[in-house]
Structure 1
Amino acid sequence: MGTHRAVVIGAGTAGLTAASTLASNGLDVTVVERAEGPGGKMREIIVGSRPIDSGPTVFTMRWVFDDLFEALGERLEDHLTLRPLDTLARHAWTDGSRLDLFTDEEQSVDAIGGFAGRTDAEGFRAFIADARKIFEVLKSPFICAAEPSMMMLLRSSGFRDLTAIKPFQALWKALGSYFSDPRLRQLFGRYATYCGSSPFDAPATLMLVAHVERAGVWLIDGGMYQLARTLADVAVRRGARLRYGCDVSSIMVTAGRAAGVRLANGERIEADIVVATADVAAIAQGLFGGDATNAVPGIPETARSLSAITWSCVGTTSDFPLLHHSVFFSRDYRAEFDSIFRRGQMPIEPTVYVCAQDRDDTAAAPSSPERLFILINAPAIGDRHQFEPAEISQCTQRTFAMLMRCGLAVTTMPEFTKVTTPTDFNRMFPGTGGALYGRSSHGWMASFQRPGARSKLPGLYLAGGSTHPGPGVPMAALSGRMAAASAIADFGSTARFRTTDMRGGMSTR
């Protein structure tokens, strides 16, 4: 048969997933990536000769990757060694209190009962049941659907189920009906930040994150970046060509449809299908040429999701039993998010996430200095504000002082610390201001404002964390498969493609 050509912009999770799927269905696939290696936001930084995961650090929704590898004729466990965590995370507050959450529901119930009392423990049972319901209602007609709509949800689930997913209530307000202890509202409200949003403005639908985590969190031997390497290897084995250090200057358009890409060095790569995994804001701003500008909706600066300041470092810790995942909460959560989203400023006292990459969920401390990834939320202002050394130093002092107030002492040295700011994220991902999750999920319609797999420009397909179904490693993988499946469906009348299946979603030939 005549071979269709596809070019994929970006070698992150979405791009590599799309490339593998397209190549396994007989297309001639080229992936172009401006960085010098795969991963996208799944970064690995070398500090003192030691690799540190400096992007996503939580692996959930394993079924997404089991399905992907099965569709490619592979098995996930043949490539990666995954170890399930029994303790999801350790949480700490400045008053000295601590709370662990577990994959086992009864363990979490007991822990919450000892932490906040029996009433809130029973509230947790109800919260988890509702979180499970939300996920079950949304999985097929929304999460796994290439182009979902409110009407699709209504037809699939009915009005009663639609109201059960709490789309019209803010997450923070909804949590008040389950928990009287403000620390628990803070803990579970943090799930809004998983998609770069504020718990005071995001819908209670995001309660589903609690179910996703309780269904399983895994550690990958060698770190999360091993997933990026594996996806790249699989794409190559399926026949895709990966080209790194290639900056795309424009998406070419011929006769009203995408026709390939032009690189910054002037090289043209012609294609029948273009899959763009860059942030849709960059496309809308014309950073991929004027012809593609109107193919996607823009993201106003006021609708940007969170950015971050991160420290990838090797250091020593004391006075606190860190787990692989630990969270240290600020004393005024509302003030923290008002500062970021209302005033576009760094919070005076941030909530801090620490990933201790040489530990598991047993709190066993390494015998030598350990690898730490430390993150605080920040406003996405990296395109109009330069984070100078003095400001970075002030943020560092506030962050490590916050950890100290919660009982954790961290000692690092400048030569073993690499800081990334919104300015740096905007440089790596232009057009975003450093926003890491595309559009924020503020308001009940926000999720429907993310573009689906098909753009307004024929032949141009979209994937990645700024598109449907949203940010996060498994969601990006789903979006890559959706983009590939949509392209296959659109070209199905002129080529003999094998069937592509997605559990709970689509089957196209």
Structure 2
Amino acid sequence: MSRIVVIGAGVGGLAAAMRLQASGHDVLILEQADEVGGKLGVIDREGFRFDTGPSLVTMPHILEETFASTGASVHDALSLVRLRTAAHYRFPDGVELDMPGDLVDVPGAVDAALGVGTGAQWMAFLERAQSIWDVTHEPFLESPMGLRTMVRGLRTPSQVTTIAPWSSLRAIGNRYLHDPRLRQLLDRYATYTGSDPRRAPAALASVPWTEQAWGSWYVHGGLWEIAAALRDRFVDLGGQVELGVAVDGISTTRSGAVRGVTLAGGDEISADVVVANADARQVYSHLVDGRIARRVRRRIERSTPSLSGFAMMLAVDDAPRLPHHQVLFAEDYDAEFDAVFGLRGPPRPVERPTVYICAPDDPTVVPTPRSAAWFVLVNAPPHAPGRGMDWDEPGLVPSYADHLVDLMADRGADVRGSIRFREIISPADLQRRTLTPGGSIYGSSSNGAQAAFLRPRNASPVPGLFLVGGSAHPGGGLPLVLLSARITSGLIGPA
């Protein structure tokens, strides 16, 4: 039996710990916050419950497999609900599209909203997207990162042509999608990895296909219940979770192998293996010393940090009924990405951003039938005072929140007279809450053809140290974080 310490109780850390405990290891999770979940956070106030992170479950079979790997059923722990409408989209010209949650209904709905022939355009694109998924998912997403794995995964010239590594998501979309609203719809999927569609790889075309092929899902009670269920299963297996414990460093032997972790108070906990469910920049900048850490850190710093987010939790009385997911598109999407990534000027708040609203129809998250708990999110540049965007500038956060509420009203979601209270999480707040540099949601973005090779591997160069979570391979988002946990636990192996 090996003693394993997991730093961080985000979804990746919880899932990896659960798998490792089930395979015979003695696992301890140390979490600096007072609750599990990491970026999958929750706020409870006055009978309202808000998820503060992911609000959509896709590829639910990965969640099912995570629990099954420990001899449990996810359906005994969570109530998964498939949404009939995946998302409601409002385009800049005022046209609205209710995207069905079942792929078979998609072409008809797109035709009805955007005009005859647009459904065929979208389905032709999804056919190519499925081909990309078929080629990439096993070697690129479900296997440990490595050049040999990547090369083996592309066995024929036709497979290389399929994923078009020289092409961007925007470029491949333009080949199939002639309606500008469909192009804008596709661009949004780059933000699922915190990226710019003009620079993100064409391989991200697989994201909308996976979402529409397996559907959009919600967890009754809110998505934080996923973190709670992972924690409970881990504890049932005999694992230990300690909250409010900050790790100050990862200690090593003279030969450079992991020896344990050092706590903020100076105490040391010994371990045979350490799994870091923390942002990789944080791990190699603050937790690990030495030449190896500096080399890896330099590689990470060559990548572009992912975008961050400005989030509002709105407690709404006498709320209008909205679809579960609603997207109010920006009038100028390129200007939005320019602002977020600091192009054509310094990083800056987006004047008229795309607004995402999650309005779950779930009586367990609100105090009365006529009230609603809205999670509102817009893309934002990371917090970088002195060298970029300073979200702690006095007055900026409340004034920007007021501006966004007015913008929502301009686009048909007017609740200005019905807000009981609001909670705001800026990129600076996100950095403080999750110890993520700048509040970058996904660690590194997928901007550029080399981005995947700059993302940190699950097996670090430090013997006995492994990384898991959205900033490590294969990337951010609930399904990929769960795959990261599967890869990491597989690399460590059974006791």
Q: Per the shorter chain, which TM-score range? A: over 0.9
Select 1:403's aligned residue among 405, 408, 414: 408
Residue 14 of structure 2 aligns to a residue whose secondary structure is: helix
Give the corresponding residue for 2:266: 266
Give the corresponding residue for 1:159: 157
Give the corresponding residue for 2:370: 368
CA RMSD of aligned residues (A): 2.1
Give the corresponding residue for 1:324: 324
**2: CA distance, partners of 1:111 / 1:169:** 29
From the superposition, tell whether residues 144 and 317 of structure 1 become closer, same or farther in structure 2 (CA, over 3 Å): farther
Quote how far apart the aligned CAs of 1:246 are. 0.4
**1: CA distance, partners of 2:275 / 2:403:** 41
**2: CA distance, partners of 1:277 / 1:359:** 31
Amino acid at match of 1:379: P
Amino acid at match of 2:353: P
Say whether 1:230 aligns with 2:229. yes
Moved more, 175-184 or 268-277: 175-184
**2: CA distance, partners of 1:280 / 1:195:** 16
Give the corresponding residue for 1:439: 444
Give the corresponding residue for 1:349: 352
* Cα pair 1:43 1:53 within 8 Å, conserved: yes
Amino acid at match of 2:474: P
TM-score (norm. length: structure 1): 0.90
Give the corresponding residue for 2:464: 459
* Cα pair 2:122 2:176 within 8 Å, conserved: yes
From the superposition, tell whether residues 446 and 150 of structure 1 become closer, same or farther in structure 2 (CA, over 3 Å): farther
Quote how far apart the aligned CAs of 1:176 are. 1.6
Give the corresponding residue for 2:61: 63
**2: CA distance, partners of 1:143 / 1:419:** 33
Residue 393 of structure 1 aligns to a residue whose secondary structure is: helix
**2: CA distance, partners of 1:383 / 1:260:** 33
From the superposition, tell whether residues 155 and 210 of structure 1 become closer, same or farther in structure 2 (CA, over 3 Å): closer
Give the corresponding residue for 2:179: 181
Amino acid at match of 1:304: P
From the superposition, tell whether residues 265 and 413 of structure 1 become closer, same or farther in structure 2 (CA, over 3 Å): farther
Amino acid at match of 2:411: C
Cα deviation, 1:14-69, whole Å, max 9, x if unaligned, reads 11111111111211111000011110100001232322111000011111122121
Give the corresponding residue for 1:104: 102
From the superposition, tell whether residues 301 and 165 of structure 1 become closer, same or farther in structure 2 (CA, over 3 Å): closer
* Cα pair 2:311 2:424 within 8 Å, conserved: yes
Quote how far apart the aligned CAs of 1:431 are. 5.2
Residue 65 of structure 1 aligns to a residue whose secondary structure is: helix
* Cα pair 2:143 2:149 within 8 Å, conserved: no
**2: CA distance, partners of 1:47 / 1:292:** 45
Amino acid at match of 1:455: S
Give the corresponding residue for 1:300: 301
Quote how far apart the aligned CAs of 1:228 are. 0.4
* Cα pair 1:307 1:434 within 8 Å, conserved: yes
Cα deviation, 1:280-316, whole Å, max 9, x if unaligned, reads 0112222555687347445338711010110012014
**1: CA distance, partners of 2:384 / 2:311:** 14
* Cα pair 2:311 2:426 within 8 Å, conserved: yes
Residue 52 of structure 1 aligns to a residue whose secondary structure is: strand
Amino acid at match of 1:376: V
Quote how far apart the aligned CAs of 1:339 are. 1.0
**2: CA distance, partners of 1:382 / 1:429:** 15
Alignment of structure 1 residues 412-491 onto 2, 5 Å: 416-430=421-435, 432-488=437-493
* Cα pair 1:437 1:466 within 8 Å, conserved: yes
Give the corresponding residue for 1:7: 5
Alignment of structure 1 residues 144-155 onto 2, 5 Å: 144-149=142-147, 152-155=150-153
* Cα pair 1:308 1:421 within 8 Å, conserved: yes
* Cα pair 2:154 2:160 within 8 Å, conserved: no
Cα deviation, 1:102-146, whole Å, max 9, x if unaligned, reads 133342211221233333221111111111111111111111001
* Cα pair 2:303 2:445 within 8 Å, conserved: no
**2: CA distance, partners of 1:369 / 1:460:** 47
Moved more, 461-470 or 119-128: 119-128
**1: CA distance, partners of 2:481 / 2:163:** 22
* Cα pair 1:47 1:416 within 8 Å, conserved: no
Give the corresponding residue for 1:506: none
Give the corresponding residue for 1:313: 314
Quote how far apart the aligned CAs of 1:89 are. 0.2
Amino acid at match of 1:420: I
Residue 411 of structure 1 aligns to a residue whose secondary structure is: coil
Give the corresponding residue for 1:133: 131
**1: CA distance, partners of 2:347 / 2:322:** 31
From the superposition, tell whether residues 429 and 30 of structure 1 become closer, same or farther in structure 2 (CA, over 3 Å): same
* Cα pair 2:40 2:227 within 8 Å, conserved: yes
**1: CA distance, partners of 2:420 / 2:287:** 35
Select 2:140's aligned residue among 126, 139, 142: 142
* Cα pair 1:249 1:288 within 8 Å, conserved: no
Moved more, 450-459 or 159-168: 159-168
**1: CA distance, partners of 2:417 / 2:202:** 38
Select 1:113's aligned residue among 102, 111, 114: 111
Paired residues, number:
482
Quote how far apart the aligned CAs of 1:270 are. 0.2
* Cα pair 2:170 2:187 within 8 Å, conserved: yes
Say whether 1:43 aligns with 2:41. yes
Quote how far apart the aligned CAs of 1:382 are. 4.4
Amino acid at match of 2:470: G
Residue 248 of structure 2 aligns to a residue whose secondary structure is: strand
* Cα pair 1:57 1:224 within 8 Å, conserved: yes
Sequence identity percentage: 35
From the superposition, tell whether residues 414 and 281 of structure 1 become closer, same or farther in structure 2 (CA, over 3 Å): farther
**1: CA distance, partners of 2:295 / 2:31:** 21
Moved more, 452-461 or 159-168: 159-168
Give the corresponding residue for 1:242: 241
Cα deviation, 1:439-492, whole Å, max 9, x if unaligned, reads 11011221122122110100000111001110011211111121121112xxxx
Residue 430 of structure 2 aligns to a residue whose secondary structure is: helix
**2: CA distance, partners of 1:282 / 1:155:** 31
Quote how far apart the aligned CAs of 1:377 are. 0.5
Amino acid at match of 2:312: W
* Cα pair 2:309 2:381 within 8 Å, conserved: yes
Give the corresponding residue for 1:253: 252
Quote how far apart the aligned CAs of 1:405 are. 2.1
Structure 2 unmatched ranges of 5 or more: none
* Cα pair 2:317 2:418 within 8 Å, conserved: no
From the superposition, tell whether residues 288 and 70 of structure 1 become closer, same or farther in structure 2 (CA, over 3 Å): same
Amino acid at match of 1:137: V
**2: CA distance, partners of 1:176 / 1:104:** 24
* Cα pair 2:312 2:422 within 8 Å, conserved: yes
**2: CA distance, partners of 1:484 / 1:302:** 26
Structure 1 unmatched ranges of 5 or more: 361-365, 489-496, 499-509
Quote how far apart the aligned CAs of 1:317 are. 6.7
Quote how far apart the aligned CAs of 1:185 are. 0.8
Amino acid at match of 1:286: H
**2: CA distance, partners of 1:92 / 1:185:** 14
Moved more, 158-167 or 129-138: 158-167
